[in-house]
Amino acid sequence: MSQKKIHVAVIGATGMVGQQYLSILSGHPWFEVTVLAASAKSAGRTYGEAVRGRWHLEKSVPEEFTGMMVIDALDIKTVKARADLVFSAISLSPDDTIKLEDAYASEGLWVVSNNSAHRNTPDVPMIIPEVNPGHLAVLKDQRRRLGKGAGGIAVKPNCSIQGFVMTLAPLYEAGWVPSNLITTNFQAVSGAGYPGQASLDVIDNCLPLPGEEHKTMTEPLKIFGRVQDGRIVQKEDLRISAHCMRVPVIHGHLSAVSLGFAGETPGMEKVISLWKEWMPLPQSLKLPSAPLQPIHVFSEPDRPQHRLDRDIEKGMAAAAGRLRECSVLDLRYTCLSHNTIRGAAGGAILTAELMTHEGYVTSRR
Ligand code: NAP
C-alpha cells in the first residue's frame, strides 16, 4: 500500500451517487479527492453552487468540497493531470460511457465504475470485494488490450443484487451448491438517481422495473464465474428468476429470496452460522471501508426493514433475516442492502481499497 495518498476524481460528483462518494471520501485515510467533474452544465461552478437545491444527504456538503470548482467530465487532460483514480458515477449512454472510461484508462488512470456499460465486457472484472476478489486477475489482460501505459477498469454490479449475492458466497465457500434462486426485489426510489421516477408514478404505488430484472438475473453469474484465459467465464449451474419493483422508500433494496440447492441442503442453523461467521478478504485485511461483519443476521420475524436496517455499519453491511423452510424450493429469507452506499459509492470505494492493497492502484505523484 502506497504511503502517499491516492488522488481521486469523482466523475458525476453532483448526482445521487456522486454525493455519497463525497460524503464517504471526506477524511478517507488513503484517498484524497482532487477532481470533481460532471456535465458541461455544472462545469465552471463551485461544487456548492452546482448542488444547491439538490443535495440529498442528511449530512451537509463536506466543507472541503463546497468551494472546489467542478470540471467537465470530458476534460480527460485535466483529470489525468490531477488524479490517479477515477470513480465514475455518470449517467451517460452505454456507448459514451465505454468511450469515456476507456479513454481514462488508456491515459493511465484507474477507473472504478458504477455504470452498467462495461459489466458485460469479459476482461472487465465486476467486483464485490468480499465475494470475487480473485477476478482482479483479468486486469493484466485488459491492460494489454488497452495499450502501453494503461491503467485499468473495474466495475460494480447493479445495486439490486448486492444483498443476495453476499448471502450466497459463504454457502458456496462451505461447499453447498445453490442452484435455483427466485427473488422479488423491493427497490428504493434513490436507485433511479435524481430526479428519478415522477412522484405521481411512485407514491401510493409499486412500479415494475423490467430493465432491472435482466441485470439481477445475469450479473451474479459473472460474479460467481471463473477466470480463464484472461476473461471471466460465467457460471452456468445457477438459475435465477427475478421480479423487481420500485417501492416508495428513499434508500435500500430488499430481496425476498427462495433458494434451492443441488444435492444436500444445509439446515437453517448451518446457514445462520455460515452467514454470521463469514470473514472474507476485505475483513481480514481490515480495509478502511470494510464492515466488521459483512452480513448481519436477524432472528426477529419482522426484520430486516428498509428504514431500520439499511444503515447498518454505515450502510456497508447486508442485513439478512426471516430464514424459513420453503415448500417450493429449499429455504427462503429476506436480505437488504443500501443501494447508494454498499450498492454504489461505498462498494466502489471498497473495491478501490482492495485494488490499492493488491498494488494495482498507486500514487503517480
Ligand atoms: P444522477 O443522480 O442522475 O447523477 C448523474 C450524474 O451524471 C450527475 O453528476 C450529472 O451531472 C452527470 N452527467 C449527466 N450527463 C452527463 C454528461 N453528458 N457528461 C458528464 N456528466 C454527466 O444518477 P446517479 O443515481 O447518481 O447514478 C449515476 C450512475 O451510477 C448511473 O450510471 C447509475 O446507473 C449508477 N448507479 C446508481 C445507483 C443508485 O442507487 N442511484 C446504484 C448503482 C449504480 P450534472 O449534475 O452536471 O447533470
pLDDT tens, residue by residue, 151-163? 999 999 999 999 9
CB of 261 sitting under 6 A from ligand 1: no
Q: Is position 362 within any domain?
A: no
Residues 149 and 72 in one domain: yes
195 CA from centroid of ligand 1 (Å): 11
Do 181 and 323 belong together in one domain? yes
The reply to whether 363 falls in a domain is no
What confidence score (pLDDT) does residue 1 get?
59
Grade residue 3 by pLDDT with cuts at 50, 70 and 90.
confident
Q: Taking the C-alpha atoms of 250, 252, 253 and 256 in order, what is their torsion angle to the nearest 10 degrees?
A: -110
Sequence-ordered list of residues with C-beta below 8 angstroms from that of 226, at least 6 positions apart, any chain: 232, 233, 235
Q: Looking at residues 247-269, what average pLDDT do you find? A: 97
Q: Which of 21, 54, 74, 91 to mutate to test the pocket of ligand 1 (most atoms within 8 A of CB)?
A: 91
- Say how far apart CA 71 and CA 57 lie, in whole Å: 22
DSSP state of 155: E
Any domain includes 364 = no
Domain that holds residue 93: 6-158+345-357
Cα–Cα distances (Å) from 180 to 137, 245, 295, in that order, read 28, 21, 21
Binned at pLDDT 50, 70 and 90, residue 75 comes out as very high
CA-CA-CA-CA torsion for 54, 56, 60, 66, nearest 10 degrees?
-40
Mean pLDDT of the region 77-97: 97
Q: Residue 20 falls within a domain, yes or no? A: yes
pLDDT for residue 2 is more than 60: no
pTM of model > 0.95: yes
Strand partners, 99: none
pLDDT at 83 over 90: yes
**80 in a structural domain:** yes
Evaluate: CB of 183 within 6 angstroms of ligand 1.
no
CATH number of the domain to which 128 belongs: 3.40.50.720
Q: How many domains does the chain have?
A: 2
Nearest to 13 by CA among 86, 78, 76, 81: 86
The three cell numbers locating residue 52 = 444547491
Could you tell me which of 4, 18, 91 has the C-alpha nearest to residue 57? Answer: 18
- CA torsion 107-38-350-129 (nearest 10°) is -70
Same domain, 134 and 171: no
CA 97 to ligand 1 centroid distance, Å: 11
Rounded distance between C-alpha atoms, residue 127 and residue 125, angstroms: 6
The mean pLDDT of 273-279, rounded to a whole number, is 98
**Residue ranges in the chain assigned as alpha helix (H):** 16-25, 47-50, 63-66, 76-82, 94-106, 139-146, 162-173, 199-202, 210-223, 268-277, 281-284, 306-309, 312-315, 346-357
| Sheet containing 152-155: order of strands | 70-72, 31-38, 6-11, 85-88, 110-113, 152-155
Judge if 80 and 188 occupy the same domain. Answer: no
pLDDT at 258 (0 to 100): 98
Decide if 206 is catalytic.
no
User: 145 and 51, same structural domain?
Assistant: yes
Q: Please indicate whether residue 244 is annotated as part of the active site.
A: no
Residues 329, 307 share a domain: yes
Specify the pLDDT at position 118: 97
| Helices 139-146 & 94-106 angle (0-180, nearest 10) | 90
What's the mean per-residue pLDDT of the chain?
97
The confidence score (pLDDT) of residue 222 equals 98
186: helix, coil or strand? strand
- Rounded to the nearest angstrom, the gap between the alpha carbon of residue 1 and the centroid of all alpha carbons in its chain is 22
Q: Is residue 37 part of a domain?
A: yes
Same domain for 350 and 211: no
Looking at the fold, whether 172 and 318 belong to one and the same domain comes out as yes
Same domain for 177 and 317, yes or no, is: yes
Residue 365 lies in a domain: no
pLDDT band at 273 (very low <50, low <70, confident <90, very high): very high
Tell me the pLDDT tens digit for each residue of 154-213: 999 999 999 999 999 999 999 999 999 999 999 999 999 988 999 999 999 999 999 999
Collect all residues with Cβ–Cβ distance below 8 Å to 60 and sequence separation of at least 6.
none
The share of the chain scoring above pLDDT 70, in percent, equals 99
- Mean pLDDT of all residues in 6-24: 97
Alpha carbon 279 to its chain's center:
19
Cell of 251: 434508500
Whether 301 and 190 map to the same domain: the answer is yes
Parallel, antiparallel, or unpaired for β 331-337 and 318-325?
Answer: antiparallel
Active-site residue (options: 7, 159, 244, 296): 159
Q: What is the pLDDT of residue 364?
A: 85
> Are residue 267 and residue 349 in the same domain, yes or no?
no
The answer, yes or no, to whether residue 356 has pLDDT greater than 90, is yes
Answer yes or no: is 136 within a domain: yes
* Over residues 117-137, mean pLDDT: 98
For atom 22 of ligand 1, the residue with the nearest CA is 39
Interval between CA 21 and ligand 1 midpoint (Å): 12
**Residue 127 dihedral angles phi and psi, to the nearest 5°:** -110, 130
Query: Cα-atom radius of gyration of the chain, to the nearest Å?
Result: 20
Percent of the chain residues topping a pLDDT of 90 = 98
Residues 210 and 297 in one domain: yes
Residue among 82, 85, 83 at smallest CA distance from 151: 85
CA angle 123, 125, 131 (to 5 degrees): 145
